[in-house]
Structure formats: structure tokens, C-alpha cells
């Protein structure tokens, strides 16, 4: 049950943004065994004055950097997360063509009882 927030600079066409959704969803299906149609994702676009990046950690990013924050159940292994990072960079590189240096991923873990996906119920508690 990932919840995905994607941030990027404004100005990319709709097809580019849709390709980000599709590539990330595929990466999560493959690396995290996310169920079919489990797609809860947003994209937020920022103008240049409200979007900053650096080149820390030996990674030289461009203005095309994409910040991806994925909140998941706290049941994923380190190996699954590593597979997710790798697969996301591969797929985003293919479509829409984002350089691997520009794929910045942060995974947040949350206990199952912290989720309500509708009807005011704690479906996973």
C-alpha cells in the first residue's frame, strides 16, 4: 500500500509525468510486490525559485532531478528497498528518460495500524 509523492520542476509535458507514474508503479510491483491497481500517487510541480537541489554525496544532479517519497508498511526488507531504487532508476531512465543521477528516492516506513484507506476504517490493523 505505497503512497507516493513526486516533486519536480514545472514545465514537463503530461506524457512525461504519466511515464513517471507508470515507471514507478512498475518498479514497485516488481521490487515490493505491490498488488495490481494499488496506485496512490501524486505529482507536485514547482517553479525554479521553489525547487532546489545540490550535488552532495558525489551525485551530480541537474535541474531535471525528481524527488520521490514513498510511504510503505514497515514490512519491507533492505533487499527489497535496494531493488526498488535500482529498478526505479532503470525504468525512469527508459521512460521518460531521466538520468539515474536525477532519481532521488526516500522510503518512509509506517506501521500498518497508521493507515485508513477509506470508510474511516483501519483496514490493515
Residues classed as catalytic: 2
From CA 93, how far away is CA 79, in angstroms rounded? 21
Q: Which of 18, 86, 17, 69 is nearest to 45 (CA)?
A: 17
114 three-class SS: helix
From CA 6, how far away is CA 4, in angstroms rounded? 6
Amino acid at each position: 500500500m505505497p503512497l507516493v509523492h513526486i516533486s519536480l520542476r514545472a514545465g514537463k509535458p503530461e506524457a512525461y509525468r504519466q511515464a513517471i507514474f507508470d515507471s514507478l508503479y512498475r518498479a514497485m510491483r516488481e521490487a515490493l510486490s505491490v498488488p495490481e491497481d494499488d496506485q496512490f500517487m501524486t505529482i507536485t510541480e514547482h517553479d525554479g525559485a521553489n525547487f532546489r537541489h545540490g550535488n552532495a554525496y558525489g551525485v551530480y544532479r541537474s535541474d531535471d532531478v525528481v524527488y520521490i517519497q514513498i510511504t510503505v508498511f514497515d514490512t519491507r526488507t533492505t533487499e527489497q528497498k535496494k531493488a526498488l531504487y535500482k529498478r526505479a532508476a532503470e525504468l525512469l531512465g527508459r521512460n521518460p528518460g531521466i538520468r539515474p543521477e536525477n532519481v532521488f528516492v526516500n522510503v518512509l516506513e509506517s506501521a500498518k495500524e497508521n493507515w485508513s484507506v477509506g470508510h474511516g476504517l483501519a483496514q490493515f490493523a
